[in-house]
């Protein structure tokens, strides 16, 4: 597993808007639709979401859970929460900036903690897991998801391989290093054990990623993720990189009404 770089967690400027517009419907919405019913079946009274991003899971939870259920959605990046608040949820949600490794909540406050595709960004995963356990009430559930290896996620892999041709001597590795860098079940279980959890249920969940054109995945990954930071750091043109990625996606999947495979691991645990 590669070491996370500081730029990997930087979601600033226009990135949150592009992320929300292009990446969320492309790869995140199917998994939000999968996660919300899992949590609703547990009938929690108070829910904490960590690494909420621009709120795709928050919106799904707000629709799936009764209005009496309290939802607190947090993220390290205030700019992402600001974008989430602009989108709204149709019901009351508390948005709060927070570091997953030092949560600003009392012990045993929530019946459920959820995190969709955020764990990979935590520098100290065991510490983040211990914090999730701390704020959970006994019998509470912790559900999180991580992406499987990049080769199982076709659009992300296609864009990453395409950019290797643009930067052959120093290819951008953000997608491999961080979003798709934490898929080893044995490692996840060891980190969970170090954080105070045991007996994790780990399920592989596949979905289809769909887009109206090949340009959408290219813009989503090149401009709507911290991959953008790596391209710019190499003095690369975002426009040129996006075009390279678009041609590669079109060459494999076609130019219009395309779809590709995505795959993730969904982890479910209970606090004793």
Q: What is the pLDDT of residue 200?
A: 86
- Tens of pLDDT along 202-228? 999 999 999 999 999 999 999 999 999
- Give the model's confidence band at 8: pLDDT under 50 very low, under 70 low, under 90 confident, else very high: low
- Give the model's confidence band at 4: pLDDT under 50 very low, under 70 low, under 90 confident, else very high: low
Say if 54 falls within a structural domain: yes
How crowded is residue 45: how many other Cβ atoms within 10 Å of its Cβ? 13
Asked if the model's pLDDT at residue 9 lies above 70, the reply is: no
Distance CA 113, CA 117 (A): 13
Pairing of strands 256-270, 136-147: antiparallel
39-43, 71-75, 235-239: least confidently modelled range = 235-239
Distance CA 241, CA 247 (A): 10
Range of the domain at 157: 6-270
- Report the candidate in 217, 202, 218, 212 with the shortest Cα–Cα distance to residue 258: 212
Distance CA 244, CA 169 (A): 16
Specify which residues 101 forms β-bridges with. Answer: none
Say if 192 falls within a structural domain: yes
Specify which residues 34 forms β-bridges with. Answer: none
Say if 162 falls within a structural domain: yes
- Domain of 197, CATH number, reads 3.40.50.150
Asked if the model's pLDDT at residue 1 lies above 60, the reply is: no
Contact of 242 with 222, CB cutoff 8 Å: yes
Distance CA 21, CA 230 (A): 21
Average of pLDDT values for 87-92? 91
Average of pLDDT values for 106-135? 98
Say if 1 falls within a structural domain: no
Say if 87 falls within a structural domain: yes
Say if 53 falls within a structural domain: yes
> Which positions ≥6 away from 43 have C-beta within 8 Å?
none
Say if 29 falls within a structural domain: yes
Average of pLDDT values for 138-166? 97
- Tens of pLDDT along 231-255? 999 988 999 999 999 999 999 999 9
Question: What is the CB-side half-sphere exposure of residue 99 using CA atoms within 13 A?
Answer: 6
Say if 250 falls within a structural domain: yes
Asked if the model's pLDDT at residue 134 lies above 80, the reply is: yes
At 93 the three-state DSSP class reads: coil
The pTM (predicted TM-score) of the whole model is: 0.95
At 109 the three-state DSSP class reads: coil
Contact of 185 with 267, CB cutoff 8 Å: no
**In angstroms, what CA-CA distances link 188 with 191, 243, 265, 266?**
5, 36, 10, 11
Q: What is the pLDDT of residue 177?
A: 95
Q: What is the pLDDT of residue 2?
A: 53
Write phi, then psi, for 136 (nearest 5 degrees). -80, 145
Number of domains in the chain: 1
């Amino acid at each position: 597993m590669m070491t996370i770089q500081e730029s990997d967690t930087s979601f600033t400027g226009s990135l949150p808007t592009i992320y929300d517009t292009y990446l969320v419907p492309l790869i995140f919405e199917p998994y939000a639709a999968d996660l919300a019913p899992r949590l609703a079946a547990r009938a929690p009274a108070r829910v904490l979401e960590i690494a909420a991003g621009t709120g795709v899971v928050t919106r799904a939870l707000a629709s799936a859970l009764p209005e009496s259920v309290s939802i607190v959605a947090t993220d390290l990046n205030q700019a992402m929460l600001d974008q989430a608040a602009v989108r709204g949820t149709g019901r009351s949600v508390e948005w709060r900036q927070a570091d997953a490794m030092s949560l600003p909540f009392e012990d045993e406050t929530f019946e459920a903690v959820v995190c969709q595709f955020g764990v990979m960004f935590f520098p100290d995963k065991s510490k983040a897991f211990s914090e999730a356990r701390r704020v959970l009430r006994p019998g509470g559930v912790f559900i999180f998801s991580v992406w499987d290896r990049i080769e199982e996620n076709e659009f992300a892999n296609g864009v990453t391989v395409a950019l290797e041709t643009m930067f052959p001597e120093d290819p951008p590795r953000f997608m491999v290093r961080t979003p798709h860098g934490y898929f080893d079940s044995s490692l996840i279980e060891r980190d969970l054990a170090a954080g105070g959890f045991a007996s994790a249920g780990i399920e592989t969940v596949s979905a289809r990623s769909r887009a109206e054109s090949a340009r959408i995945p290219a813009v989503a990954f090149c401009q709507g993720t911290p991959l953008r930071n790596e391209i710019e750091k190499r003095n690369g043109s975002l426009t040129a990189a996006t075009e390279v990625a678009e041609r590669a996606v079109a060459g494999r999947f076609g130019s219009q009404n395309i779809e590709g495979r995505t795959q993730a691991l969904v982890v479910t645990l209970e606090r004793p």
